[in-house]
Amino acid sequence: MSHRILLTGVTGQVGGELLRSLASLGEVIAPARGELDLTDAASIRQLVREVQPRWIVNPAAYTAVDKAESEPELAYAINTEAVRVLGKEADRIGAGVIHFSTDYVFDGEIDTPYHEFHPTRPIGVYGASKLAGEEALANSRAPHLIFRTSWVYGTTGKNFLKTILKIAREKDRLRVVADQHGAPTWSRDLGRLTAHVIRIIEKQSADSNLYIGMSGVSGIYHAAGAGETTWHGFAVAAIEHAREFDPSLKLAEVDAISTSEYPTPARRPANSRLSCDKLAATFGWRMMDWHDSLREVMAELEPTRREL
């Protein structure tokens, strides 16, 4: 199998892992920011028409949750309008679209994991702009998959894990929120999932039109780490792993606090747990338990942890 794949957001955590995982599937075109301006519809159209991809994989997003409250136009430009254009261009050429979304489309007020059928109710600009992007892609009529994920982290880029490990070496105590529940998701797991799904769909399509190959499977899927914890639990586990690697390392103790003790411009969902049963039933893929992924990520970070 060899197809042309247009990949956005290659400098991001998920984009970098996708560049690795998709390489075996064909020619991956991964434009830099200077080559693709997601705030410019004309730039998007021109690139898609030049590349003529079989697949468009879009992990690129405006993810500054707090800053989005004061920059709604920019958040909507990237998270909604760019997705709308990608969907329309994909429909025009018959390309499949894989797009990444977020748990922030929910308000976090239920007590059980969210399924794809649960009503959406974002409580901030970021979540609202991502939900509008989902709707824009669905309305484009392009064959598509939307992977909602949560608490993404890995060995590259800025993320909660790397921040915690850095600060833990600089301070004696840390205060981390313990009443927001979810599951950390390894960016590499998302990359592997995407390649797995494309392989399955291409096998079903037998190089025919993707409208046929994706018939019955297009839509939204939850794809987040298995298990559950809190930000406090994640921080404690990460520091414990770091101590196992180097027992002599002096690291901070972690105190549990409430969300109200750590106010932010944008509200966060108290419950970010996502049920991934539909993903497993449709594509036979089970996301890694966050304990297992954390162990692997920490093992990769260990040789360079002093540089974090």
Query: Residue 64 and residue 69: Cα distance in Å, rounded?
Result: 9
What's the 3-state SS for the chain?
CCEEEEECCCCCHHHHHHHHHCHHHEEEECCCCCCCCCCCHHHHHHHHHHHCCCEEEECCCCCCCCHHHCCHHHHHHHHHHHHHHHHHHHHHHCCEEEEEEEHHHCCCCCCCCECCCCCCCCCCHHHHHHHHHHHHHHHCCCCEEEEEECCEECCCCCCHHHHHHHHHCCCCEEEEECCCEECCEEHHHHHHHHHHHHHHHHHHHCCCCHHHHCCCCCEEEECCCECCEEHHHHHHHHHHHHHHHCCCCCCCEEEEECHHHCCCCCCCCCECCECCHHHHHHHCCCCCEHHHHHHHHHHHHHHHHHHC
- Clarify whether 126 is annotated catalytic: yes
On the CB side of 28, CA atoms within 13 Å amount to 20
Options 62, 126, 153, 221, the catalytic residue: 126
Compute how many other C-beta atoms are within 10 angstroms of the C-beta atom of residue 215: 12
- Catalytic residues, by residue number, are 126
